[in-house]
Amino acid sequence: MSDARVLVADAGSASLHLRVLDGDDRELAAKDLTEPPSGPEAPEAGELAGLIGDFLREAPPVSATGHRLVHGGPRLLRPTAVDDGVRAELDHAAGLAPLHVPPALAALDATRRLLPDVPHVVCLDTAFHAGLPSAARAYGLPRDLAERHGLRRYGFHGLSYAWALRRAAALLRRPTESFQVVLAHLGGGCSACAVRDGHSVDTTMGFTPLEGLVMSKRSGSVDPGLLLWLQTAAGMTAERLTETLNRESGLLGLSGTSGDTRDLVGARARGDANAAYALDVFTLGVRRGIASVAASLDRIDALVFTGEIGEDQPEVREEVCSGLGALGITGGLAGLTEGTPSHDTVVSRSGAAVPVLVIPTGEIRQVAAETRAVLTELGARREPPAPAPGESPP
């Protein structure tokens, strides 16, 4: 099924991206909703089914659907074909990523109703990190508490990392089996990941996508004692705290104006001190994250930027790399005057001790690839066994 035509659905808290890709990853149909059609809340299930149904009526027929799912929970650790049992299991993950999983499950339910005769596959951001070393995934909590509730670092952005890793290794002509690399996905959500010999060995996001780097509107890591203080001394409810940490913090909260680095870089150039402050906090946080995961490697063969900010914001890349001299990474990157790379590109100087790469995000194509791989597995299971020599075929 490597040539299967696949519908890819990537549903976020306030967006829906639909693509139909052929076996060569050529885009045959596309639809993007970057704002919910009914205002600040996600569309109702019937409305969502209507949007997807309209798209499918105009798109060519598909052999399968692949769904990006941010969190697979503690038991789903690889791309998986969805049946009723798997669908029930996914409900357990909804509370671990409440901004991301419920919209994705709504899109999954809608496509299962609209396309009842094709396989549906969930491709999990957490799957890339399923083999994290035990020390890297553990929190310093009582073991019985952690084991009872599944309290561990799951890691996220795995689909982005899987794509970027493969493309970076190809660009540098290095086999992934002997490649040690730090990947930084910088977008609305931000994280860093260390990969050793093709496997994730450390990452900054943890039990939920809220941990780690400062993000567009999310706070990233905050002293847990501070959070307890806000609840006990400042009287913030859990609901108010959740809203603050997920939607009102990060670059938006620091600057008071925008969570978009493009706006902030422009405002800083015009003398906006709050924009400069927000960018300083953000880029320092990215450097800290890169340095922290690099501690799980023997060496750094490359630093890779991906995600919207990683791809489109050369000023951020430059400020991050200029402060990483202790890791052998330096600034002076291409892109500040040459424009944003539109393809896999080495942006560091020739002969740099650690090459710095920009890899445009490929989550959609990674979902399609993983979906086709599951279809191939399903097809192999359904094939009757070959007859032994001298036997007649069944």
CATH of the domain at 12: 3.30.420.40
Residue 15 structure tokens: 């967006």
Clarify whether residues 294 and 371 are in a common domain. no
SS3 content of the chain, % helix, strand, coil (to 5): 40, 15, 45
Q: Say yes or no: 101 and 84 in one domain.
A: yes
Helices 224-232 + 238-247 axis angle, to 10: 140
Q: Which has more pLDDT, 338 or 15?
A: 15
Q: What torsion, rounded to 10 degrees, do the Cα atoms 301, 307, 308, 310 define?
A: -20
49 in a structural domain: yes
**390 in any annotated domain:** no
**pLDDT for the residue numbered 93:** 85
**185 and 109 co-located in one domain:** no
With H, G, I as helix, E, B as strand and everything else as coil, classify residue 195.
Answer: strand
* 179 and 88 housed in the same domain: no
Q: Is the same domain home to 214 and 328?
A: yes
Is 143 within the bounds of a domain? no
Rounded to whole angstroms, the Cα distance separating 31 from 17 reads 6
90 near 71, Cβ under 8 Å? no
Q: Can you give the pLDDT at residue 339? A: 57
Does residue 227 sit in the same domain as residue 200? yes
Are 373 and 270 within one domain?
no
Contact 159, 366 (CB under 8 A): yes
Total count of domains within the chain: 2
Domain that holds residue 290: 175-361
| Gap between the Cα atoms of 71 and 276, Å rounded | 33
Same domain, 186 and 299: yes
Residues 323-356: b if buried by 16+ CB within 10 A, e if exposed: bbeebebbbebbbeeeeebeebbbbbeeebebbb
Give the pLDDT score at 37: 45
Task: Examine residue 147 and state whether it is found in any structural domain, yes or no.
Answer: no
pLDDT (tens digit, 9 = 90+) per residue, 158-168? 999 999 999 99
DSSP state of 349: P
Measured CA to CA, the distance from residue 250 to residue 278 in angstroms comes to 8
- Check pLDDT > 70 for residue 49: yes
* 311 and 344 together in one domain: yes
- pLDDT tens across 114-144, in order? 999 999 999 999 999 999 999 999 999 999 9
Evaluate whether residue 1 is within a structural domain.
Answer: no
Q: Are residues 82 and 202 in the same domain?
A: no
Would 131 be classed as within a structural domain? Answer: no
Q: Is the pLDDT of residue 268 over 80?
A: yes
Phi, psi of 61 (to 5 degrees): -65, 155
In this structure, the answer to whether residues 228 and 375 fall within a common structural domain is no
Active-site residue, 301 included: no
The average pLDDT across 244-264 equals 97
Residue 152 in any domain: the answer is no
- Catalytic entry in 24, 54, 125, 298: 125
Based on the domain organization, do 116 and 237 belong to the same domain?
A: no
Examine residue 208 and state whether it is found in any structural domain, yes or no. yes
